[in-house]
Chain A
Amino acid sequence: MTAELVRGQNHPLDRTRVEIRVAADGPVVAGVTLGDAQGRLSGVEAVAHPGAPRRTGIEVPRQAAAEHRIAVDLDALPEAVHRVSVLLALPSGTGALTTFGAAAAPAVAVTGLDGTALARYTLTGLDAESAVVAVELYRRQGAWKVRAVGQGYAGGLPAMLHDQGLPQAAELAAEIEQAVGLGQARAVPAPAPVAAGRSERPVTGPPAPPAGDRPSTAPRTASDDPAASAHGTGAAHGTGPTAEPTAAADPAAESGAASPAPVAAGPVDYRHPRRRGTPAPPGPAPSPAATPSAPATVPAAADGPAQPVAGDAAGWSMDERLYNQVWGMFEDLARSVAAYRSAAGFAASRLEQELDEALADPRNRLGTAADAARATARDRHATLVTRARAALDRDLGQLVAESQVVEPALPPAFARWDNPVWHGYQPPQERPMALRLGDLHLPEVLDLRIPMLVRLPLERGLWIDSGPGSAVHGGPDPEREVARRELGSALTDGPPDEAELRRLAMETAVAIAARLLAVHPPGDFAVQVIDPAGTAAPALAPLVESGALPALPVPGAQGVASVLEGLTRRVDLVQMAVRHRAADSLPPDLDTAEQLLIVHDFPHGFDDRALTRLRYLADEGPAVGVHLLMVADRARTREYGPVLDPLWRSLLRITPVPDAHLADPWVGHAWTYEPPLAPEGSQVVRQVLGQLVAARRTP
């Protein structure tokens, strides 16, 4: 366990052969002084420094570097030595740093020979010092301990050595400086681009992988780049440019010495030599100190968002990948808008507060000060909102681009009716995984429609609300009216009257039913309709004329009863067969296709018995392939009291006209839903159903 020392704290050492590792933000000189019990030095031979790196039991590096390893064999030290002080000093003349306060705090670790850290200490709080005693190892009752010292000297090495009782302090300090200068002369000069900045991260890595290799949009991959994590925390204590490896150092130190280590250039590149391959991170250009050639080598492409590709989410099949991608876009849009709304809301509340303050301050009551304060507050508000909008627009640009490649790639089950994929429609062989129930959008972003995909088989039935929307909310909702006006869709020209709404509701039901029929293999899906009043006939025409629906529903209570009776029997039998694993003993006349029951104009024609059956179907049906699609005015069903509330709640409400009532699962925005209606005058639904029925006849 590594002890993190604070200044003055000590920690016992359980071994006598240790290494002291130094990591600093720039080149430093490391040295060791060997003091007696009083901490005094016997003479210049008691100091290990770059000019005299070897003393008995001690070896220090010969030159300045950002990282050092100092090998210490405490057993080999003379008996008289009681205190081993590790000192760091900034080399003069390199032009890099003159005080420790100008850089990040250096850190010192005492480690075993295998690199396991025994104690660590970060020398914080340094300011104008140019030399510092970092840690000291000292004898205490026969054992060795380490103490965090952190004593800095603004007077540099001479002051420090003088403080330790060395008479020749100034001469020795000069000797050390000279040795460091020699060491720098020996070092390999830095290649120009590498010297760009004291970079922990390579500025000149190979170009980042092309966008296509990372198949996702920037928002979703920003944090899971495998290349980045693979280079993790390895070699945190890289061997660095230690030209004279210590006796205990591993062979990597040798290669570190041979690698182009830009010691002489002052700013030190202390990357690990094996870590060169890390791609340059996206982001701002390197430090201002960079040579002009350095920024050119940073791949500009890494900065921009990846080009969107359809189907680049995870999944086992293309459909699943597209499904996940659409849901990913849905979430990203929800969250981007949440960020925008949060910022805009904050700006508004801050504006209000600042206006209040301006008003409350009596000094502002006269003169122009109040006006100025108000203008400042408004400016601050406008600036923040503008920045928030810019961030939103950046995200939207990416999502719109993604939508533009994703929409044409969608399979029929996910595609709008106006998608060309429907013109090449072939009855499918397999059941789809999901169905597009409509489009969703937010008022901030009118031009980006997110497909509303629900998994199949439908776990929740649907309720198409044919009543005027305001009745559901108990009053007109101004926001929704605004949203409706903003839409500018043909459907929203003026408030649709009730008859129109009912017609549109049934058309929506038929559009969904036709879509469900079309995306299932022929014979795997069937539609039944309850329409006691017989008013749905015009809307049902496409289904009946193509033969997808064998006949118009039987009107009256009798029709209601017979359809419910048949479906209840089917649910009961299939449930029994499933429970007893006797699927082959189902009666041969039972239609095993999944069933969609459209109930039009509910609750017209329903008695208590029929109502009970309907609720039974809503509860038990989905598990055995009987799904419910209600077309009803929620307000009118209230006449039945609370008995229908559970049914209402168990169904997913959608609307025949665009209406902001669906919440997303992440932040709960109110999304405007648009039903999946075919374009005006389009024959695509009839054509598709015709092909389906033809395929059903010729198996």
Chain B
Amino acid sequence: MSVNLSKGQGISLEKSDGGSLTAVRMGLGWRSAPRRGLFGRRTSEIDLDASAVLFAEKKPIDVVFFQHLTSDDGAVRHTGDNLVGGAGKGGDDEAILVDLARVPVHIDQIVFTVNSFTGQTFAEVQDAFCRLVDETTGEELARYTLTGGGDYTAQVMSKVHRVGGGWQMTAIGEPSVGRTFQDLVPAILPHL
């Protein structure tokens, strides 16, 4: 059962069998801008970026985004920057894979964010969503539909954090404004 969430809603999730997560993927998908006529490449492209920020006791330690695709410890991997979007059919255009077993012991929270690098607000982007998938089963843990999300260019999506010996996900869904994850740090901090 995936949980559909809208802006500003938060919900705490625990896997319903009581177990904890071992590998999650954050997926981000959107539909590319329509191409028109001659020199169609000049159509204003839409570039959304997914990022993951690793925190240890509320201090940012590492970040995985389009310029740093793998965290130094190798536990968090970005599959690569997509600058234009996809078909809008629900497939992930950018993905961040987290191998929770390999996350360094001092990292206790990983926050996932989405930014519109080219500046379009979520109201202008078609079929945009971000979601969190449990990689061991392929099941969707949470999904946000970004499209129609109003006059925002960024969203602090969710975080996975240590609980006892395992990991848990909490959806945040805090809309914000910013070009890259750096602009979002003030928006992230209250959620840690």
CB-based contact B16/A384 at 8 Å: no
Interface residues of A in 298-352 (CB under 8 A from B): 331-332, 334-336, 338-340, 342-343, 346-347, 350
Chain A residues within 8 Å of chain B by Cβ, number: 69
CB-based contact A122/B138 at 8 Å: no
CB-based contact B72/A339 at 8 Å: yes
Q: Does residue B109 face the partner (Cβ distance < 8 Å to A)?
A: no
With a CB–CB cut-off of 8 A, which chain B residues contact A286?
17-19
Of B20-28, B36-44, B174-182, B184-192, the one with at least 4 CB within 8 A of chain A: B20-28
A232 vs B139: C-alpha distance when bound (angstroms) = 6
CB-based contact A236/B2 at 8 Å: yes
Q: Does residue A186 face the partner (Cβ distance < 8 Å to B)?
A: no
With a CB–CB cut-off of 8 A, which chain B residues contact A340?
104
Q: Does residue B148 face the partner (Cβ distance < 8 Å to A)?
A: yes
A2 vs B138: C-alpha distance when bound (angstroms) = 22
With a CB–CB cut-off of 8 A, which chain B residues contact A390?
105
A66 vs B22: C-alpha distance when bound (angstroms) = 25
Interface residues of B in 1-19 (CB under 8 A from A): 1-11, 13-19
CB-based contact B106/A343 at 8 Å: yes
CB-based contact A23/B106 at 8 Å: no
Of B95-103, B113-121, B151-159, the one with at least 4 CB within 8 A of chain A: B95-103
**What residue of chain B has the Cβ atom nearest to residue A228's Cβ?**
B138
CB-based contact A197/B17 at 8 Å: yes
A223 vs B139: C-alpha distance when bound (angstroms) = 13
Q: Does residue A82 face the partner (Cβ distance < 8 Å to B)?
A: no
CB-based contact A104/B13 at 8 Å: yes
CB-based contact A231/B17 at 8 Å: no
A283 vs B22: C-alpha distance when bound (angstroms) = 7
CB-based contact B16/A197 at 8 Å: yes
> Smallest distance from the beta carbon of B47 to chain A beta carbons, Å?
21
A288 vs B164: C-alpha distance when bound (angstroms) = 15
Interface residues of A in 377-418 (CB under 8 A from B): 384, 387-388, 390-391, 395
> Smallest distance from the beta carbon of B133 to chain A beta carbons, Å?
8
CB-based contact A222/B135 at 8 Å: yes
**Complex partner residue of A342 from B5, B16, B73, B99, CB under 8 angstroms:** B73
CB-based contact B74/A336 at 8 Å: yes
CB-based contact B16/A198 at 8 Å: yes
With a CB–CB cut-off of 8 A, which chain B residues contact A335?
70, 72-75, 102
A225 vs B23: C-alpha distance when bound (angstroms) = 11
CB-based contact B166/A6 at 8 Å: no
**Complex partner residue of B140 from A121, A233, A287, A346, CB under 8 angstroms:** A233
**What residue of chain B has the Cβ atom nearest to residue A346's Cβ?**
B106
A388 vs B25: C-alpha distance when bound (angstroms) = 24
**Complex partner residue of B17 from A200, A282, A666, CB under 8 angstroms:** A200
A311 vs B73: C-alpha distance when bound (angstroms) = 24
With a CB–CB cut-off of 8 A, which chain A residues contact B67?
none
CB-based contact A388/B99 at 8 Å: no
**Complex partner residue of B11 from A67, A124, A283, CB under 8 angstroms:** A124
With a CB–CB cut-off of 8 A, which chain B residues contact A225?
135-136
Interface string of A1-38 (1 = CB under 8 A from B): 11111100000000000000001010000000000000
CB-based contact A228/B137 at 8 Å: yes
Task: With A1-B127, A281-B136 as known contacts, state yes or no: A122 contacts B11, CB within 8 Å.
Answer: yes
**Complex partner residue of B139 from A201, A336, A338, CB under 8 angstroms:** A201
A199 vs B134: C-alpha distance when bound (angstroms) = 14
CB-based contact A200/B139 at 8 Å: yes
CB-based contact A342/B61 at 8 Å: yes
CB-based contact B73/A222 at 8 Å: no
A331 vs B70: C-alpha distance when bound (angstroms) = 11
> Smallest distance from the beta carbon of A228 to chain B beta carbons, Å?
5
With a CB–CB cut-off of 8 A, which chain B residues contact A201?
15, 17, 136-137, 139
Q: Does residue B57 face the partner (Cβ distance < 8 Å to A)?
A: yes
A390 vs B104: C-alpha distance when bound (angstroms) = 11
**What residue of chain A has the Cβ atom nearest to residue B147's Cβ?**
A1
> Smallest distance from the beta carbon of A8 to chain B beta carbons, Å?
12
**Complex partner residue of A219 from B74, B127, B136, CB under 8 angstroms:** B74
Interface string of A546-587 (1 = CB under 8 A from B): 000000000000000000000000000000000000000000
A230 vs B57: C-alpha distance when bound (angstroms) = 36
Task: With A200-B16, A223-B25, A384-B105 as known contacts, state yes or no: A283 contacts B136, CB within 8 Å.
Answer: yes
**Complex partner residue of B138 from A3, A198, A232, A350, CB under 8 angstroms:** A232
Interface residues of A in 23-81 (CB under 8 A from B): 23, 25, 66-67
With a CB–CB cut-off of 8 A, which chain B residues contact A331?
74
A5 vs B22: C-alpha distance when bound (angstroms) = 31
CB-based contact B3/A229 at 8 Å: no
> Smallest distance from the beta carbon of A286 to chain B beta carbons, Å?
5
**What residue of chain B has the Cβ atom nearest to residue A387's Cβ?**
B105
**What residue of chain A has the Cβ atom nearest to residue B104's Cβ?**
A339
Q: Does residue B81 face the partner (Cβ distance < 8 Å to A)?
A: no
CB-based contact A6/B7 at 8 Å: yes
**Complex partner residue of B1 from A200, A232, A350, CB under 8 angstroms:** A200
**What residue of chain A has the Cβ atom nearest to residue B126's Cβ?**
A1
CB-based contact B3/A6 at 8 Å: no
> Smallest distance from the beta carbon of A23 to chain B beta carbons, Å?
5
CB-based contact B1/A107 at 8 Å: yes
Q: Does residue A120 face the partner (Cβ distance < 8 Å to B)?
A: yes
Q: Does residue B62 face the partner (Cβ distance < 8 Å to A)?
A: yes
A347 vs B105: C-alpha distance when bound (angstroms) = 10
CB-based contact A229/B106 at 8 Å: no
**Complex partner residue of A338 from B25, B72, B166, CB under 8 angstroms:** B72
With a CB–CB cut-off of 8 A, which chain B residues contact A671?
none
A3 vs B99: C-alpha distance when bound (angstroms) = 32
Q: Which of B19, B70, B104 has the most CB of A within 10 A?
A: B104
Interface string of A127-169 (1 = CB under 8 A from B): 0000000000000000000000000000000000000000000
CB-based contact B104/A391 at 8 Å: yes
> Smallest distance from the beta carbon of B17 to chain A beta carbons, Å?
4
CB-based contact A347/B166 at 8 Å: no
With a CB–CB cut-off of 8 A, which chain A residues contact B105?
343, 384, 387-388, 390-391
**What residue of chain A has the Cβ atom nearest to residue B105's Cβ?**
A387
A124 vs B14: C-alpha distance when bound (angstroms) = 15
Interface residues of A in 176-202 (CB under 8 A from B): 196-201
CB-based contact A342/B137 at 8 Å: no
> Smallest distance from the beta carbon of A384 to chain B beta carbons, Å?
6
With a CB–CB cut-off of 8 A, which chain A residues contact B75?
335, 339
CB-based contact A109/B4 at 8 Å: yes
> Smallest distance from the beta carbon of B109 to chain A beta carbons, Å?
13
CB-based contact A346/B61 at 8 Å: yes
A222 vs B2: C-alpha distance when bound (angstroms) = 22
**Complex partner residue of B104 from A6, A104, A342, A667, CB under 8 angstroms:** A342
**What residue of chain A has the Cβ atom nearest to residue B103's Cβ?**
A339
Q: Does residue A285 face the partner (Cβ distance < 8 Å to B)?
A: yes
Q: Does residue A632 face the partner (Cβ distance < 8 Å to B)?
A: no
Query: Can you list 17 A-B contacts with CB-CB less than 8 angstroms, sorted by A residue number?
Result: A5-B6, A104-B1, A104-B14, A197-B16, A201-B15, A218-B101, A222-B99, A225-B136, A233-B2, A236-B140, A281-B136, A282-B22, A284-B165, A335-B75, A342-B61, A342-B62, A391-B104
Q: Which 7 pairs between the two chains have the least Cβ-Cβ distance?
A: A335-B74, A287-B18, A339-B73, A4-B6, A281-B136, A339-B104, A199-B17
Q: A105-B11, A384-B106, A388-B104 are in contact. List 20 more A-B contacts (CB 8 A).
A: A2-B4, A2-B145, A5-B6, A25-B1, A67-B1, A120-B4, A198-B16, A200-B15, A201-B136, A201-B137, A222-B22, A228-B136, A231-B138, A284-B20, A286-B17, A339-B73, A339-B75, A339-B102, A340-B104, A342-B72
